[in-house]
Structure 1
Amino acid sequence: MADVTVISSSIVRPENINQSCREKIHLTPFDYTHVDYTQRGLLFPKPDPETRFISRLKTSLSSALDVYFPFAGRLGKVDNQDDSTVSFHVDCNGSAAKFVHAIAESVSPLLALQVTEMKDGVFISFGYNHMVADGASIWNFFRAWSKICSNGQSEDLDRPLVLKGWFVDGIDFPIRIPVSEIQTKMASSGEKSTEGRVFHFTKRNISDLKAKSTAKVALVT
């Protein structure tokens, strides 16, 4: 595998940090089932260097974070001394998302992005904490970011965010987790985890595969 060189590493904050929008999002029991970072990537043809696409990506990302501000937040922790438990929440404090031009060595923000320039294309990869968004939300964010980067605006920016999760009747928030369980989770975090890959096929790709499969079946029969 070819070496990848880090060209720059920076943080990108929302364009307009509105303190009135600062939220504390309490996590539901379902959120606690996805504590790890999800990693995805998008591959594009290499653009014209004259477009200064790295600068455009960062500027448009800042605008997109104005609306999808939880991605610029941090995971907050509260120690409950009265019963020796710990509670977590998403603190929408506008701290920033991480933007790396080449490779990301670590992931501490709720959203980190990596843009790698290859010989014949550009690869944008990202990692996000699943506690702050589900799969549909992260792709809505990317669509909005893409439209801002391409056109300077996006109708998706008018779409309201759903910031309050669904709690089953009888469950109070913030949820309190015994400190002993947190320590057990940290001790087992070094275990090797499985890896998965997701491939996207266009309609034309699927049609071509079906045609090849049909041709092979015809030869056998």
Structure 2
Amino acid sequence: QLLKHISECFIKPKYEVHEAKQPYYLGPVDLAMLFAHYIQQGLLFTKPSNLGDEQFSIHELLQCLKKSLSLTLVHFYPLAGHLETQTDEEEGQKCLVFVDCNKGPGARFIHATLDMTISDILLPTDVPEVVQSFFDHDGAVNYDGHYRSLLTIKVTELLDGVFIGCSMNHALGDGTSYWHFWNVWSETHKAKLEESVPVLRMPIHDRWFPDGYGPPIFLPFTQPDDFVVSLHETPDQLRVRIFHFSSESIARLKSKANEETHNNNTTTRKISSFQALSALYWRSIIRALNLPHNQVTNCRLTTNNRHRLHPPLPKEYFGNCISALKTTTTVGELLEHDLGWAASLLHQSVINHGDKVVRDFINRWLKSPDIFKLEKLTDSYSVMMGSSPRFDMYGKEFGLGKAVAVRRGYADKFVGKVTCYPGYEGGGSVDLEICLTPDSMEALELDQEFMDNVSLFLKGYRIIE
């Protein structure tokens, strides 16, 4: 089935924002993200049969979403702008990339339809490829924000559901910032007011820079081709499947990892649920990849650094404050030891990742600015985790009740990529979206240690085996 494009428009902040008249400078990690894909995640809702005494109207929903988005953009005004680059060749080969908050038509808003049902999306074993069409900016990198919208909302009407997909330029914010935007938009939409809604957690747009640096920060390039190469392809054969882990399964994993850690007489005191789960999928995916035992393997965890800095940055800091925390061993060591041993390695990496490590990394980058290249962060013998089960995804409502599923688009899909979501039922349950080649996915599905922890979850249309 092909998605049918119905209409589109652009949305600007409802009120003039004084701060938007100034250039909006990007921080160190923001600039390093210019090569990465947009963040593409969205929520699938059941289409209400009626709302009180009124019949559901997609037209009314779209109008309300546009109004609330316009109000929300008053607080998140950079998302309505465009990227701009100024070059300065007289003082060396360098350029300045920033956001012109008044340039461009605003955030893009698309309405589309698809003659499929929620069951068509959720019941197949693998995530259907059509889900990628629920998002704008397919294959775009953040630098493309010079001529593409920095934010697009795409509302796709299914026969019995509504999918709200959001594509946000990753150079402007990380997952924490992304879901903060969703939260404020949801609050604003529920309030149904014509004027700005009081926001409990206002985004903080003052960019953080280490002492002695910025703003602004110049990059040592004058041509985009010097540092940006578009990524428009995923592997020809890539299976994407979601595995569900109930809160009970997670608790058992945590208990097992801690017991094995104690038996191994390691110095690790407390393995977290997330570390135990990460150890499980690291071991299981590497086993499925069937690699030589002397091969070095890494587990990279996308880590929020706001609370790791001293003094810490507030949760409301809007921008990128993340890094890929890397834990390294060999395939042989990883598979010959138990779950607790792998979890203790991850635990130690998390403990070591404090203020000094974060600042040292950023200071090194500032002395020699570079753009993150996907091939430097990924390889065919490691795993990488994105997103977080701590993000409140299911708390977002738009007059449609609680979402029935979270799905993401084309962005950052490669062999060994794991994306973590909170489970629908809450309580510490987790969904893992895993990307592998068909042969490796089949091996993972036959992996006893992994599948013994995967849970059957049946909720309405949601069935994950």
In 2, Cα distance between equivalents of 1:90 and 1:99: 20
- TM-superposed CA distance for 1:181, in Å, is 6.9
The equivalent residue for 2:25 is 26
1:2-39 deviation line (CA, Å, top 9, x unaligned): 21000001101111123454332221221123223111
CA distance in 2 between counterparts of 1:118 and 1:75 reads 33
Provide the C-alpha distance between the structure 1 equivalents of 2:58 and 2:222, rounded to a whole number of angstroms: 55
Return the match for 2:217 from 161, 171, 175: 175
Contact persistence 1:23–1:93 (CA under 8 A): no
- Provide Cα deviations, 1:94-148, integer angstroms capped at 9, x if missing partner: 7410001026654711111100000111001111112212222222221221122
- Asked if 1:203 corresponds to 2:203, the answer is no
Equivalent residue, structure 1, for 2:189:
149
Aligned: 1:166 with 2:208: yes
Query: Is residue 54 from structure 1 mapped to residue 65 from structure 2 by the alignment?
Result: no
Alpha-carbon spacing, 1:212–1:75, altered in 2? closer, same or farther (3 Å)? closer
Other structure's SS at 1:57 match: helix
SS of match in other structure, 2:68 = helix
Deviations, residues 48-94 of structure 1 (Å, cap 9, x unaligned): 12771011111111111112111111112111132231111122227
Aligned residue for 1:39? 40
AA in 1 matched with 2:198: E
* 1:85 matched residue in structure 2: 94
Q: Percent of aligned positions with the same letter in both sequences?
A: 29
Partner of 1:218: none
Asked whether the 8 Å contact 2:87–2:222 carries over to 1, the reply is no
Paired residue for 1:114, among 154, 166, 180? 154
CA distance in 2, matches of 1:199, 1:51: 30
TM-score by length of 1: 0.80
* Larger displacement relative to structure 2 (35-44 or 198-207): 198-207
- Structure of greater relative contact order (alpha carbons < 8 Å, 6+ residues apart): 1
Question: How many residues were matched structurally?
Answer: 209
Contact 1:26 1:164 in 2 (8 A): no
Q: Which residue of 1 aligns with 2:283?
A: none
Contact 1:25 1:164 in 2 (8 A): no
Distance 1:146 1:92, change over 3 A: same
SS at match of 1:142: helix
Task: Read off the aligned partner of 2:46 and give its amino acid letter.
Answer: P
Aligned pairs (5 A) from 1:8-23: 8-19=7-18, 21-23=20-22
Aligned to 2:168: 128
- Give the structure-2-normalised TM-score: 0.41
The equivalent residue for 1:99 is 109
Task: Determine the C-alpha separation between the residues in 1 that align with 2:88 and 2:96.
Answer: 7
The structure with the largest alpha-carbon Rg is 2
CA distance in 1, matches of 2:42, 2:8: 18
For the residue of structure 1 that corresponds to 2:83, the secondary structure is strand
Partner of 1:30, secondary structure, is helix
1-side partners of 2:58 and 2:211: how far apart? Answer: 56
Deviation at 1:184, TM superposition (A): 3.1
| Alignment CA distance shift 1:205-1:30 (3 Å) | closer
- 1:205 shift after superposition: 9.0
SS for the counterpart of 2:9 is strand
> Equivalent residue of 1:44, what SS?
strand
